[in-house]
Amino acid sequence: MAANTRQPIDIDSAASQCQKVLGYIEKYRADAKEIDRERAVEAAAVLVRLLEQPADAIYKLFLSPTILMAVKTASDLGIFSRLCDGDAFVTCKELATPKGADVQLIERIMRALVCSGFAAERGPGQYMPTRRSKAMTARTVIGLMDSLFVDFLPIIHKTPEFLRETDYRNPEDPTHGPLQYTHKTTSTTWDWLSKRPAALDRFNSFMEGNRAGRSHWAEWFPVQERLLDGAVVNKSPLLVDIAGGRGHDLIKFKQRFPGPHGDLVLEELPAVIDDISNLDEDLRRVKHDFFQPQPIKGARVYYMKHVMHDWSDGNCRIILGHVVDAMERGYSKLLIEEHILPDQHAKELETLRDLIVMVWCPGNERTRQRWTELLESVGLEIQNFWLPDGFGTGIVEAVLKDDRRA
């Protein structure tokens, strides 16, 4: 197929782009700034696109689900754990033995893993781990893989059909989106999850590891200056983590700021709270649906991580309205940890996440302008956008409008 559609390569542009890649790498070598590493990755991707034949790229794109299949199968076979167990190479026969798998099947799976960077070859039929194969042994990464492969992928497959049948309207109804179309239900995503313990467990593990190696927000946000200074101990809770999953963010916040600054409260749906087997006794658990009135009044901080992107603007106004009603003027703050998209030149990962929340919730990621419009519509004023690397995930800090003292 590709041989009949070859196009000339712009060698000069490719050479120029190669110099950009090397320049960012040298900057990252000198300063170890994350933004330079990200820019090097982006520039390298552009270089590949300049060198690759379009027909080859398209062919590989639509064959790429087979890589997902190979990685998932390898995980189920325990291949990544076996690769990382010890310093010696591992043979196909050794990888096949624990599950009694066919050696020829293992050979085929391993070829796919090597091509995609999830294993390395030492010699014919001899394999060593890579950084990617080591990452695939982490519980949260396995949860991410299982959730996306088992629960998200069938929905992604049906989304073009859903959009065609809905005249290509932007999905906004939480009871009628791609997930509901795929599974023939009118339940919201979260009700659908709550009735499926295995899917809920996969999703919670996915969320627990969703920072993808990024630092906790309390490590770069000026917590002392913006939150602790001015907080009154025992007046009300210091921080309410709304829809905080299993409490992983609260735990890390407490580790970072262990002093007696006030109560830390985890709010979640009953099914999630009941699913938590181990949580610090000092962290209060409150069963709460954020579409209902906020039960904790006058907290210093109301914090939400990756909540707003799950919902349309109309639903977000309901959620935020309950928080606004609970906030104390001159004291309370709202912190929203989310992706903050640029108006143009959005990066690949944040763009893919936008499409993922569209098919799953349905929701969307927002630009600075859209964040400003949304929060102002419910009586909030943004004090700052905090972006540790200048892009991607950050904190939107807001107070009640005309609230100058917070």
**126-128/120-123 β-pairing:** antiparallel
Q: Which residues fall within 8 angstroms of residue 300, CB to CB, at 6 or more apart?
A: 227, 230, 231, 232, 236, 237, 238, 239, 262, 331, 332, 333
Question: Which DSSP symbol is given to 310?
Answer: G
Residue 301: strand pairing partners: 239, 333
Pull the structure tokens for residue 304. 């939400």
Backbone Cα Rg of the chain: 24
Paired strand residues for 394: 338
- Phi and psi torsions of 192, nearest 5°: -60, -45
Q: Is the Cβ–Cβ distance between 325 and 291 less than 8 Å?
A: no
Q: What is the DSSP letter of 352?
A: H
Q: Is 309 one of the catalytic residues?
A: yes
Q: Name the active-site residue from 309, 322, 339, 345.
A: 309
In this structure, what token pair is assigned to residue 334? 């709202």
Helices (H), 116-176: 131-135, 139-146, 153-165
Structure token pair of residue 177: 């989106």
**Total residues belonging to the chain:** 406
In the sheet that holds 120-123, the strands lie side by side as: 90-91, 126-128, 120-123
Of the candidates 250, 242, 231, which has an alpha carbon nearest to the alpha carbon of residue 298?
A: 231
Tokens describing residue 373:
């419009």
DSSP code at position 332: -
Return the active site residues: 309
